[in-house]
């Protein structure tokens, strides 16, 4: 029986390029090569696409130039070989990409044009979840608590007196805590806005929710959703800054992830049910990680949704799923099989 041809996209032009490469390495070690035939497509930081042997080594220089054709007749890749093109038909694509042009609907739109089934959320859900201000509008409309937030446009300079401190300043459309700052005093606000604008012209000034940071991994499509064990981020100081460390594999300088979370059973169930409600409200499919705050009064507030969460050795999503009995190999097989069956499209 012929193996399923899987195109695996990794790298990308966002600030999360290095994380994507690490995620792809874990996928490489978890893909059943007896069942799937991988075609590795690495996207360099400058935006060049390379068909390569995998995410290890000098793939950016060793790979061959390649494009994903939007022509449904091709249904896959066009590999440049001298002055000629070689077509490779793909059965499914797994975009192991994080951040801009990976999670925001851009590559999903290209895949829709190509007619190739793909893993994860569609264009609409990807765009909604990438923009936190839109995420809050949709989720709040579904009756789920969100932080109080003020959206600041590119030419706006809000009066620092209008906020109650502390607040968080963050890019509306970025990930992995890039550009996020906690502002304790009004004098710090202009500098925090400037930092956030390095990553996005649209910035949020958000209330600092007092509560424990918890998360829930969600897998599948409504109504058949699987959730991982809830985790909790235990902070020694500051705030959680994932992927900001020089060597995140060896641990964070100010946080430890506890999974299963050390919270009461009723709180764990509430977090899992709220995560599923958020996932449904936003139209998520395939997989996503829903991050929430668990307040002292037992209520939960949405933090953010990651539609293509990190799959690295130290990432939260695979850790939560492993604690629930699903290895990354199981997760990869499920999302790829579901995309092929059309249940993630």
What are 49-78's pLDDT values in tens digits? 999 999 999 999 989 999 999 999 999 999
Q: Please state, as a whole number, how many other Cβ atoms lie within 10 Å of the Cβ of residue 73.
A: 9
228 is catalytic: no
Catalytic annotation present for 19: yes
Q: Where are the domains positioned within the chain?
A: 4-118, 127-145+209-341, 149-207
127-145+209-341 and 149-207 agree in CATH topology: no
pTM of the model: 0.92
Token pair for 340: 């092929």
pLDDT of the residue at 249: 59
CA-based nearest residue to 190, from 167, 212, 173:
167
When mean pLDDT is compared across 8-22, 43-57, 85-99, 226-240, the lowest value belongs to 226-240
Catalytic residue among 310, 319, 332, 335: 310
CB atoms within 10 A of CB 159: 8
Q: Is 243 a catalytic residue?
A: yes
Catalytic residue among 202, 243, 316, 334: 243
28: CB partners within 8 A, 6+ apart: 8, 38, 40, 54, 55, 56
Is the pLDDT confidence value at 177 over 90? no
Contacts 24+ apart (CB under 8 A), 328-332: 328/26, 328/27, 328/30, 329/30, 329/31, 329/32, 331/30, 331/219, 331/287, 332/27, 332/30, 332/31, 332/32, 332/94
Q: Under CATH, what is the fold of the domain 4-118?
A: Rossmann fold (3.40.50)
Q: How far apart are the C-alpha atoms of 227 and 24, rounded to whole Å?
A: 22
Q: Which of 36, 136, 279, 314 is catalytic?
A: 314
pLDDT digits (tens, 9 = 90+) for 209-264: 999 999 999 999 988 999 999 999 998 645 555 554 556 655 556 679 999 999 99
pLDDT of res. 1: 73
Other Cβ atoms within 10 Å of 74 Cβ, number: 19
Quick check: is 98 catalytic? yes
**What does the pLDDT read at residue 266?**
97
What 8-state DSSP symbol labels residue 251? -
Q: What is residue 335's predicted lDDT score, i.e. its pLDDT? A: 97
Which one of the listed residues 5, 98, 173, 316 is annotated catalytic? 98
Is 345 annotated in the active site?
A: no
Q: Are 123 and 105 in contact (CB under 8 A)?
A: yes
Of 19, 93, 203, 205, the active-site residue reads 19
- pLDDT of 17 strictly over 70: yes
269 included as an active-site residue: no
Q: What is the CATH number of domain 127-145+209-341?
A: 3.30.470.20
Q: Is the pLDDT of residue 279 over 50?
A: yes
Give the count of beta carbons closer than 10 Å to the beta carbon of residue 125: 23
- What would the pLDDT profile of 132-151 be if each residue is shown by its tens digit? 999 999 999 999 999 999 99
Of 5, 17, 22, 173, the catalytic one is: 22
pLDDT at 174: 82
The fold of 149-207 is Dna Ligase; domain 1 (3.30.1490)
Q: Which entry of 100, 202, 268, 289 is annotated as an active-site residue? A: 289
């Amino acid at each position: 029986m012929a193996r399923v041809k899987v195109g695996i996209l990794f790298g990308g032009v966002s600030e999360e390029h290095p994380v994507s490469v690490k995620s792809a390495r874990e996928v490489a070690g978890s893909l059943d090569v007896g069942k799937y035939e991988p075609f590795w497509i690495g996207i360099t930081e400058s935006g060049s696409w390379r068909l390569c042997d995998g995410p290890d080594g000098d793939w950016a220089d060793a790979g061959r130039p390649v494009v994903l054709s939007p022509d449904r007749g091709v249904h896959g890749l066009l590999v440049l070989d001298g002055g000629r093109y070689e077509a490779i038909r793909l059965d499914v694509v797994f975009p192991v990409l994080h951040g801009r042009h990976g999670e925001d609907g851009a590559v999903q739109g290209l895949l829709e044009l190509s007619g190739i089934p793909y893993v994860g959320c569609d264009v609409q859900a990807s765009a909604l979840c990438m923009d936190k201000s839109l995420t809050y509008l949709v989720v709040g409309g579904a009756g789920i608590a969100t932080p109080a937030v003020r959206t600041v446009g590119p030419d706006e300079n809000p009066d620092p007196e209008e906020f109650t401190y502390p607040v968080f300043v963050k890019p509306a459309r970025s990930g992995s805590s890039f550009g996020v700052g906690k502002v304790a005093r009004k004098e710090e606000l202009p500098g925090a806005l400037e930092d956030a604008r390095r990553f996005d012209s649209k910035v949020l000034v958000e209330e600092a929710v007092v509560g424990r940071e918890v998360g829930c991994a969600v897998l599948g499509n409504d109504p058949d959703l699987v959730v991982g064990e809830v985790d909790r981020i235990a902070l020694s100081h500051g705030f959680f800054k994932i992927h900001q460390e020089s060597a995140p594999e060896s641990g964070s300088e100010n946080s430890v992830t506890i999974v299963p979370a050390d919270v009461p059973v009723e709180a764990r169930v509430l977090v899992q049910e709220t995560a599923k409600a958020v996932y449904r409200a936003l139209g998520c499919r395939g997989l996503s990680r829903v991050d929430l705050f668990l307040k002292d009064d037992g209520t939960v507030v949405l933090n953010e949704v990651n539609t293509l969460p990190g799959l690295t050795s130290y990432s939260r999503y695979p850790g939560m799923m492993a604690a629930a009995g699903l290895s990354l190999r199981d997760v990869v097989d499920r999302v790829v099989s579901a995309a092929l069956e059309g249940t993630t499209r």
